[in-house]
Amino acid sequence: MTDVIITLKIMPEDLEVNLEELANEVIKKIESFGGKIKSKEFQPVAFGLNAIILKFFIDEAKGWAEEQEEQLSSITGVNSVNVEEVRRAVG
């Protein structure tokens, strides 16, 4: 099987959330699902609020399910998790 690249946009609950710590918690959870982090960035949204943008590889056979998204959403400090893009890795 091949890998897929998934891009997630994670919104914190508020401005007081430490984005670096929150990103590390989310990354640990993704890695526990079998994902391999490709990149992490913070994207300004509005009024000082930033979103965490994570790109990671995961085996297509494992896939990405609503259940995993719900587990990420349940992490303290996470307001929402949105799948921005899913595509097959080439090369």
38-89 pLDDT tens trace: 999 999 999 999 999 999 999 988 877 778 999 999 999 999 999 999 998 8
Structural domains in the chain plus CATH codes: 3-88 (3.30.70.60)
Q: Is the dihedral of CA 16, 30, 28, 56 positive or negative?
A: negative
Query: Contact, 71 vs 78, CB < 8 A?
Result: no
Q: Provide the pLDDT confidence category of residue 20 given band limits of 50, 70 and 90.
A: very high
pLDDT of residue 91: 63
Q: Model's pTM, two decimal places? A: 0.92
